[in-house]
Structure 1
Amino acid sequence: MEVRRITINIAGRTYPLNVPSAEEETLRKVGKQIEGMIKDFEQNFDVRDKQDALAMCALKLGTNAEVMALSNEKNMNAASERIQEISKLLDAVEE
């Protein structure tokens, strides 16, 4: 696995990172997304400093991740139930 040295800028600070090549594009994309969120929060809300904007970003990203996790769990449960129903139907046909 090839590791690359990249630099990500967030909230006016530079973060040098050693990342697997396969993750570079994702990390750069997320860094830009965070920068965009910071700008939005600064323009649309009463944020006093970058720390407030970063806290709001963390809260929003964490909430999004939790909503996605719950959605995935519901989808997996629904799929599992459907597979069980299909399996019962197939068993009934075989009998």
Structure 2
Amino acid sequence: MEVRRITITIAGRNYPLNVPAAEEETLRKVGKQIEAMIKDFEQNFDVRDKQDALAMCALKMGTNAEVSQITNEKNINASNERLMQINRILEALEK
């Protein structure tokens, strides 16, 4: 597995990281999203402290992840139920 040394800048600080090459693009994208969120919070919510902006980013990203997980679980459950219905229909046709 190839490892790359990259630097991500968040809230004016540089963070050097050793990351698998396959994850580099994702980490850069997330770093840019965090920077955009910080800028948005600073401009729209009168947040002047970087730590407060980062805390708000963490809360927003955590909330989005939790909502996404709940949605995925509902979709999986709905898909499983539908597959079980199809399976029952197929079993009935075999008889």
TM surpasses 0.5: yes
1:87 corresponds to: 87
In structure 2, the residue matched to 1:13 is: 13
- The aligned amino acid for 1:90 is L
Q: C-alpha distance in 2, partners of 1:89/1:83?
A: 10
Structure 1, unpaired ranges of 5+: none
List alignment gaps of at least 5 residues for structure 2.
Answer: none
Over 4 Å off, 4+ runs = none
Whichever residue aligns with residue 82 of structure 1, its letter is R
- Structure 1 Cα separation of the partners of residues 90 and 81 of structure 2: 14
Query: Map of 1:58-77 to 2, 5 A cutoff?
Result: 58-77=58-77
TM-score, normalised by the number of residues in structure 2? 0.98
Of all paired residues, the percent bearing the same amino acid is: 78
Amino acid of the structure 2 residue aligned with 1:4: R
TM-score of the pair, normalised by structure 1: 0.98
Query: What is the RMSD computed on CA atoms of the aligned residues?
Result: 0.5
- Report which stretch shifted further, 18-27 or 42-51: 42-51
Deviations 1:9-31 (A, max 9, x none): 00010100000000000000000
